[in-house]
Amino acid sequence: MDRRRFLALAGTGTSLLAGCLDGTSGETSTTTATDTPTASPTATDGELPDGIYVQPFREGMAMQGTATAGDLSVAFLYTSPHVFWTVNGESLSKTPKSGNIHAMAVVWDTETGRIVPETGLSLEIERDGELVSQEVIYPMLSQRMGYHYGGNFGLDGDGEYTARVSVGAVPNGVALTGDYAGRFREPSSAEVGFAFNETQRDRVRSEEIDAYGEPGAVRPMEMEMVPQATAPPREELPGEPLGAPNSDDALLVTGAVAGDEAPRFDADTYLYVSPRSRYNGLVLPAMALEATVTRDGSERFAGQLTRTFDPALGYHYGADVGSLNAGDEVTLSVTVPPQTARHEGYERAFLEMPDAVVSG
């Protein structure tokens, strides 16, 4: 697929850190609370590692409430204003801290509890019926929240506000399979009331992390009312596993479905890739991914994998490859990396993603 065409279509745990390649946890020393997130003065861009690194702080979240929007549920919460980076192709653009809050919305399927990426979302903040703030809100990745929609917003002092959340439809470029077929194609909206005051600001204080800049990631926040944006565990994925190569700290978990399960994908043999972050297994949406299947030196399949949302596989990329035999070589090529904004810790990963190879 042409890069420009794709971009136009892509519309708390026991341990603080997830540290090693094998997913084990690491402890950190005592930290000190601050009013707003602050970067450690000891690490510069030149000292930060390529790929995922531990962000400089662990922040609190002020959960404000949830509401239903059609088949979907929406949560609204906020923390202190953040630095983040938007992505255009492989290029990054830094957005500085501004405003009073970093507003966040999470969207999920009410029935299954799965985060629904690529809906698109807009946010208006009102007070006493008057518009206070209407900023761009981006699909983005953070270590504490995973995939969500976020942006820095200004407010009009302490008081009570209303967040008006408009959720777009899942675009036609994302296939919906299984029990998701025919759903999520209509826009919807919801309202959540929230407060901005000293009590809420106390909830969003942050603490510095001594491990800032080391390879690893802060564990995602656990919230009773909001599901985590994690990919399905590898052992729960259907079909035959083929491998999970690392491409710029994205694990490309690959498998093939044939036989009785294949018809729901309208396929003879369905090749799928379920990408997730190296640490914590967070969903990585909105990329363009191609596969080439070679058998005995001859090319058997070459083509784009379709962005797909399925109850069992979650958000993934897949295609019918006809057949897949033992010994077949599958080359995975990311032609456009995930087109999501990134918080600190992710802006150096998932950008220059080399080809990866798995075998049937």
What tens digit of pLDDT does each residue of 165-192 get?
Answer: 999 999 999 999 999 999 999 999 999 9
Q: Between 81 and 27, whose confidence is greater?
A: 81
> Which residues have CB under 8 Å from 104's CB, separation 6+?
61, 76, 77, 78, 79, 145, 148, 149, 150
Residue 45 is predicted with a pLDDT of 62
Instruction: Give per-residue pLDDT as tens, 273-294.
Output: 999 999 999 999 999 999 999 9
Q: Tokens 């809100």 belong to which residue?
A: 137
Interval 68-92 mean pLDDT = 95
Mean pLDDT of the chain: 88
Average pLDDT, stretch 337-359? Answer: 97
Rounded Cα–Cα distance for residues 249 and 267 (Å): 30
Query: CA–CA separation, 219 vs 242, rounded Å?
Result: 27
DSSP state of 115: B
pLDDT at 26: 29
- Cα–Cα distance for residue pair 229/293, rounded to 1 Å: 30
* The two three-digit tokens of residue 114, written as one number: 């799965």
d(CA 305, CA 294): 16
Per-residue model confidence (pLDDT) at position 224: 87
Q: Taking the mean position of all CA atoms in its chain, how far away is CA 89? A: 16
Q: What is the DSSP string of 6-43?
A: HHHH----SSSEE-STT--EE------EESS----TT-
Percentage, residues of the chain above pLDDT 70: 87
**pLDDT on residue 351:** 96
Q: How confident is the model at residue 5 (pLDDT cuts 50, 70, 90)?
A: very low
Residue 33 has pLDDT above 80, yes or no: no
Position 162 confidence tier, pLDDT thresholds 50, 70, 90: very high
Whether the pLDDT of residue 34 is over 70: the answer is no
pLDDT of residue 21: 32
Residue 1: pLDDT band (50, 70, 90) is very low
pLDDT tens digits, one per residue of 211-222: 999 999 999 998
Neighbours of 315 (CB within 10 A): 25
Report all structural domains of the chain as residue ranges with CATH numbers, in order of start.
234-359 (2.60.40.2480)
pLDDT digits (tens, 9 = 90+) for 39-77: 433 455 668 999 999 999 998 999 999 999 999 999 999
Is it the case that residue 295 has pLDDT exceeding 80? yes
Each residue's pLDDT tens digit, 97-141: 999 999 999 999 999 999 999 999 999 999 999 999 998 899 999
Whether 4 has a pLDDT exceeding 50, the answer reads no
